[in-house]
Amino acid sequence: MAETTLEFVKRHLDSEMESEELHPLPSDFYSRVSQYSQRLRRSAGSGNSDVSLRLIAKQAEMIESMTRQLLGVRARKAAAGEAFLQLLPEERYVCLTQQSFQRRFDAFVEALSAGKPAYIEFAHRSESARNMTIRFVRHTKELVGADLKRYGPFEENDVASLPAASASILIAGGDAVEVYVRQAP
């Protein structure tokens, strides 16, 4: 009998949790799981019975939970053993941000405890200077940004790069949504 995708994911999760080292995954692991999840979600819209829909939802929930656990365990092992290159490319893509966050977090805490106000000021200036790209969902009058520059007026679907503090206020007020710009690798 062929192994189901749920069994496939569970087998790899169990192997990873039982081992101290990173357990090798098939290079197409995440693609296979994603394709299965796509088929599963498509089948949910096929006029199935309530029982079938609940089973489909439960399978999707189990897949998400197990892959979340697996990725978390693998990321921790890679970080602890400095085995970043043993991760699959998809895992490295996810973990790069996590590593960057951890380095920045550690540097900030170290600067606080070592009494380095220049680093704290640098962090403040960097965040204050950060821009965010947003798309307006309705007409918005001219505004003065956190940098004291004038922006706008904006029409629905206009896209602009504004100081992050100003953009966050517009997003929270329902005037705009964040546009995610792909970062260079």
Structural domain total, the chain: 2
57 lies in some domain: yes
Q: What's the CATH number where 76 sits?
A: 1.20.58.1030
Q: Do 41 and 75 reside in the same domain of the chain?
A: yes
pLDDT in tens, 144-164: 987 889 999 999 999 999 999
Residue 21 has pLDDT above 70, yes or no: yes
Q: Which residue has the higher pLDDT, 53 or 62?
A: 62
Range of the domain at 29: 5-113
40 in any annotated domain: yes
pLDDT at 180: 82
SS (H, E, C) the chain: CCCCHHHHHHHHHHHHHHCCCCCCCCCCHHHHHHHHHHHHHHHCCCCCCHHHHHHHHHHHHHHHHHHHHHHHHHHHHHHHCCCHHHCCHHHHHHHHHHHHHHHHHHHHHHHHHCCCHHHHHHHHHHHHHCEEEEEECCCECCEECCCCCEECCECCCCEEEEEHHHHHHHHHCCCEEECCCCCCC
What mean pLDDT do residues 13-41 have? 92
Give the model's confidence band at 36: pLDDT under 50 very low, under 70 low, under 90 confident, else very high. Answer: very high
Considering the domain boundaries, does residue 126 fall inside one? no
Predicted confidence (pLDDT) at residue 47 exceeds the cutoff of 90: no
Q: Write out pLDDT tens, residues 56-81.
A: 889 999 999 999 999 999 998 988 87
pLDDT digits (tens, 9 = 90+) for 111-128: 889 998 888 888 888 888
Q: What pLDDT does 125 receive?
A: 85
Same domain, 62 and 32: yes
Domain annotation covers residue 74: yes
Task: Answer yes or no: is pLDDT of 185 > 60.
Answer: no
pLDDT in tens, 81-108: 778 889 999 999 888 888 888 888 999 9
pTM of the model: 0.63
Are 26 and 103 contained in the same domain?
A: yes
Same domain assignment for residues 85 and 143:
no
Q: What span, in angstroms and rounded, lies between the C-alpha atoms of 136 and 21?
A: 48
Instruction: Let me know if residue 118 belongs to a domain.
Output: no
Q: Is residue 50 part of a domain?
A: yes
What pLDDT score does 183 carry?
Answer: 65
